[in-house]
Structure 1
């Protein structure tokens, strides 16, 4: 397994972001006999990040204060901005996986018509919320800090990613 790219973002006054970096895995492929979405969902489930929905990414900046999130792109391509208005644009395509620690801003800038992803959350963090810049308050930042670090990375399991980079 390739080591993920790490992307760190500071609180920009609107989006709190996280002390943990976002992780970007590139180029995962479908297992023999499975589609890419089936492969990604099985991997996430195996590593205790059960999938809750399939779809896209909102076209407005938002974050989650009660859960970490994994996004697995299984079709098409998109430009996502991570970290808030002043964040970083990331090009993603089928086979890429983004792990967003609680508080990390994300927004769809553009996408192909066939862009689709599957999303999961660590077991026990399935009650996720949607927050916007106006929600960046001391209470929300405390809630983000209280979200526990998962035991397993959704892609690498017990070696790499969340386990190694979220210390």
Structure 2
């Protein structure tokens, strides 16, 4: 069964670098049983997982890509920084793979909104907020972030690596 995906590219907005080569990949209705989300991503090589919400301010990770899976509730998340063109409704069962450097911020959510986050190879993620003094090092790190071995949802190359490695 093919998951429905959308992709979004974001230019560097001066504060949030975003990723020049890899788009954000959104999977609608990625998982029917969100109770299995953590087991699925771990089996597919994505770990160092956590569950909670998404920060209500723009932030990004420069040293790794991230998958977010909505476990419960719904939210509206802005991607790409202050000038980010994608304001995406995110509901239970949806997933998104965020390339290193791509900003994300929760704009609103239901009280029960909960996501699972995980990283390829269990990388210990850094936290960047677009401060000028972090930019130079962050831009270098983004280019060096390791490509995942598998798509966190399907466990195969596709669709993620088919989209990212063209």
Look up the SS of the partner of 1:42 in the other structure.
helix
Please, what TM-score do these two structures have when normalized by structure 2?
Answer: 0.91
- Residue by residue over 1:96-131, the C-alpha shift from the partner in whole angstroms, topping out at 9 and shown as x without a partner, is 001001101000000000100111001152x11110
Task: Give the TM-score taking structure 1 as reference length.
Answer: 0.91
Which residue among 28, 51, 62 is the counterpart of 2:59?
62
Match for residue 39 of structure 1? 36
Q: Residues of 1 paired with 2:40 and 2:59: CA distance?
A: 26
> Matched residues in 1 for 2:127 and 2:52: separation?
15
The residue that corresponds to 1:33 in the other structure is none
SS of the residue corresponding to residue 44 of structure 1 reads helix
- Name the counterpart of 2:152: 154
Structure 1 moving runs of 4+ over 6 Å: none
Give 1:161 deviation, angstroms.
2.7
Comparing 133-142 with 82-91, which one deviates more in the overlay? 133-142
Q: Which has the higher strand share?
A: 2
- Number of aligned residue pairs: 160
Task: Render the CA deviation track for 1:122-166: whole Å, top value 9, x for unaligned.
Answer: 1152x1111011155222101110011111010122231321011
Q: Decide whether aligned partners of structure 1 residues 54 and 120 sit closer, same or farther in structure 2, where only a CA change above 3 A counts.
A: same
Name the residue aligned to 1:25.
Answer: 27
Partner of 1:2 in structure 2? 3
SS in 2 for 1:121: strand
CA contact (8 A) 2:71 2:116 kept: yes
Runs of at least 5 residues in structure 2 that lack an aligned partner in the other structure: none
Report if aligned partners of 1:26, 1:95 keep a CA contact under 8 Å in 2: yes
Q: Counterparts in 2 of 1:4-153, with a 5 A limit?
A: 4-18=5-19, 19-27=21-29, 28-30=31-33, 36=34, 38-87=35-84, 88-125=86-123, 127-135=124-132, 137-153=135-151
Q: Give the Cα separation in 1 of the matches to 2:46 and 2:156.
A: 13
Write the distance in 2 (CA, Å) between the matches of 1:121 and 1:108. Answer: 19
Deviation at 1:3, TM superposition (A): 4.2
